[in-house]
Every structure is written in structure tokens, then in C-alpha cells.
Chain A
């Protein structure tokens, strides 16, 4: 065996063992029939896939795409100025970058729960607003679409900032000066020079935010309560309370297929996403 193959072996084993094999199992489950008391078995069927085309699931899928889209747009709008600011902040740059990555040092679950404590009726925001007499009844801050969106934007923002930062950091600042020199006002420079050059970073950021947001189930579960069922919650429910593994497997594969087709559609011009 050549040295090259020896070094490639661990990665190959991990990929096969932890990705291909489970995916094959999921595929197999999605084609099985659910047993009367949960569990699954033969005969093989496509019924699980057919069931997904119920309008109820269509609505869930649409809602998932909608909230993932909102999250992506908000993260790009918030992340871009921040990434630009970090790029231009000289010696404090490393410190600011570390602050962006700081949330990763705390468990995702803990951070999301923290929002519950801040947003609930007896939470920090409502307590302060009521104590100062601004409101007399607690505002419904938790268990709605807005709370889920907030949680998703909060968790995804660093994933948007980092790729945008990496393209802006490579941008030769004399481009910006050249644009001004040629008569462009700052807003024109932003739209005609900086954004076009930063497009690869923005595209990478969009994917890093959109794909995980599309499949989220914890954020929607904790901050949305029962009111905001997303595709991730649907899949989770099939594997837990509903005990319908074949349908859960089919739903997750359909989601994956949609994402892959979308990825292909965006990258077929030969451009790299990441």
C-alpha cells in the first residue's frame, strides 16, 4: 500500500463508517413498512414518500424554507457590516474575531435555554419592562415565530460573519480608494465594488446559515413551543413520539434531496460554494 493510501485510509473509514453506512440504513428504513406497534419491516414500499405530499407537510416544508430564508437574509445584513468593521479595526481584529467565536465555547443547548429565561413572561425583559411601568401585562416574547427567528439568527450569525470576513480581509483596500478616486460615493462603492468582490463569501455564508437553519429542530422546539413545527421537528417526532421511523427516514431524505438539488442549481456555473 502506498503512503498516500495509508494517510487517506482513516478519513475514508470515517466517511464510510459514519456517513455512507448510516445513510444506507436511513434509505433502507424509508422503504420499509411501519409495524403495528412501532418498529419496521417488510414489505418494501414507496408509501412513506407518497405520504409526504400531503398539504399539511407541504405547509411545514414551506414554513421551514421561509424561516431559513429569513434567517439567512438577516444574518447577511447583520453579518456584513460587522465583518467589514472587524476587517478595518487594525490591531483589535484578532480580539473581535475571538469574540465572534466565543459563543461556540458554550453549549448550543445552554445558549438557547438562556433565551427562554430572557424572553418568557417572568423573564428578564418582561420583568424590567413591567418594573419600569412601560407595560402592565407581559409581552408574548416567547413561543412564536419571532422567537424562533431570533434564536436562529443568534446561533447562525458567527457562521455568516466568518466567511464574509475571510473574503473582505483579502480585499485590497486600494480598490475602495480607487472607487472613491474615480468619483464613486461610499454607497456606490459598496454596491459596485465591495459587494461584487465579496460575493463568494456572501454565498458561502448564505449556505452555512441556510442549510442548518432548514433542518433545525431544537431552536424551534425550545423557543417556538408547539406553535412552530418545522421539518426538523417533524422528522424528530417520527423517530420519538410518533414511532414511525420509515416516514421519518423518508422525510429526512426528501429534505436532503431538496437541499442537494438547490446546491447543484447554484453551483452548476462552475462556481465554488465554499
Chain B
């Protein structure tokens, strides 16, 4: 692992965004974003489309210049530098492999621009890392979707960037492959120790891959935290709603899996009427209406099929599962 040996020294934050905004003629895409990534972290930027996550990534890459704010990369403000003068590399959603170059030539492209030494060894190393050994001389058109994704990863990893940027890296793969590639990507990141900053709209992807998640909405950061913190202690109703489902009783939030159902009343239980039941394979989602006319979703195991629409039931939950927002 010669290429990545230097990456394990526990430095301070490798990337710090301070007060970063991007104002386009028509709208404010990113609004006063603060973000810090320690070396070696796998960080996910999530949010609905148009929330500014991609623009934020593009400002780190150098494709957009921030209207205000600083982008500190390894201690240097790179906010105004062009992409080719930044020690970051991007894996594009479309992969953007050069169609006229072979896998090997694609991987060599960046190394040649940076006048690297031992190019052959480095190419062999990263291709081995992404398991593309033997496919060096193929053109991108002759690769499968998963292979293209790995070739694009190899091309960026070969430069051993300070931060690797991934723009929806799994969205072009078919769903069956996505699960497997997700595990591989996580293992790869651990192995090379490079800081990953990934943009995704897929909440499950963010929860399974990232060490920490930043949730964005309307150009602003709603919350940054570990998957546990984001899911169990969401800072805002938006975060609660965006990652995972949420029941609302007045201003109080309750996760469907924390909402319990019973045929007999218990202490502090609320009577409800089942209006709907949806079979989801491993789960059943029951929709039940309580006295205040709010409809809650209750997630039960598929083995618990005794609840039918029209049944009078009782709902209860633990005090610590309640989510309260200011």
C-alpha cells in the first residue's frame, strides 16, 4: 500500500468550509455553510434535490467559486483555485470516463498531468484495489456499470487526493448491485484511509456508509452528526422527516418502529382505529387513527398479521422515544 501509506497520520481537519455561500443570478444555492472533515472520515451530504449539496461539493472540487466564505484544504484556502490546482478528485455521477481512452489510460491521465513517478506501479496498485486487473486495455464502452464505477474510482484514487469527492456514486447502478457496491465502497475507504465526501439523496446510503452525515435543506445545514445522532436525535423536524419516517402527534415526533400496538389497553396507551395495512415483505405498516384525528404509522413484523382494518387497538410508546423540537 505504498500509495496511501502517508494518509494514516491523524492530522487535524483536512477540509474546513467556513461561511460558504453560492449565489446564482436566480437563487441562493448555498447559504452560509460550515463543515469540518477530520482526515479519514467518510462524510455524506444529504438532502432533497435543490438543497445545495451538489453545489457545495462542486465548490470543494473547484467547479464553482464560492460567492463568500473560505474552503480550507490541508490548511490552505483553495476557494478561488481552479480544479487542476486542488488536491481533491471527483467521482462523477455519470463517471465521466474518457471514451477514447482505455481503463489504463484513463487512470494514467491524472498521474501524467501531475508528472508522477512510477506510473505503471501506481496504476497496477489502484486497479488491483478496485479489482479491475485484467481489464486495463478495455475501452469504457466495453465495461459493465459496476466496472465503470470502479474504473472512475481508480482514476481518482490513483492521485491519492486529500479528499475524494463522490457525486451520487451509486445512483447509476441497478438496485441489486447497489447493495454490494455499497459494502465494497465502505471497505475500500477504510483500506485507503482517504477522506471521502459523498453527495447522495438516498438516506439509506448515507446511514450505512457515512461516519458522519450533514443534512442540508434550502442551501443551509440543518444538522451534522453521526448516523445515530441524526436518526435518534434529529435537530429539526426537517431532519427527522428526511431520514426515516415520522409520526406527528402535535409537535411531538415518533418513529413508526417506536410506535407500539396492542389489542388491550396498557398504562398511558391511546385508543386508535386501524384504517389501513400495507404488506412490505419483511414488515407490515399499519395506519391507525387516534382520537385527535392524527394518523400514525406502526411498523410490525410480518409474523404479526392479526391486525385488520377496522380493528379497535391501543397505541403506546416509551417516553425516551419521543422527539421534541423547539
Contacts and interface: CB of A to CB of B under 8 A. Distances in A.
Interface of A: 172, 174-175, 177-185, 188, 192-193, 196-197, 199
Identify whether the interface residues of B are mostly helix, strand, loop, or mixed: loop
Given A188-B113, A192-B109, A180 B84 contact: yes
Contacts of A196: 98, 100
Nearest to A175: B96
Contacts of B93: 174
B61 interface: yes
B84 A172 contact: no
B257 to A, nearest CB: 39
B94 A184 contact: no
Contacts of B96: 172, 174-175, 177-178
Interface of B: 61-63, 82-84, 88-90, 92-94, 96-100, 109-110, 113-114, 155-156, 159
6 contacts: A175-B98, A179-B109, A181-B63, A183-B113, A196-B98, A197-B98
Contacts of A188: 113
Given A172-B94, A174-B94, A180 B83 contact: yes
Contact of B83 (A175, A181, A192, A193): A181
Contacts of A185: 84
Nearest to A184: B113
A174 B84 contact: no
Residue among B84, B94, B156 with the highest chain A CB neighbour number at 10 A: B84
Contact of B90 (A175, A177, A197): A177
Nearest to B109: A182
Nearest to A195: B100
Given A172-B94, A180-B82, 12 more contacts: A174-B94, A174-B96, A177-B61, A177-B92, A178-B98, A180-B63, A181-B63, A185-B84, A188-B113, A192-B109, A196-B98, A199-B100
A24 B15 CA distance: 75
A184 B84 CA distance: 6
Contacts of B90: 177-178, 181
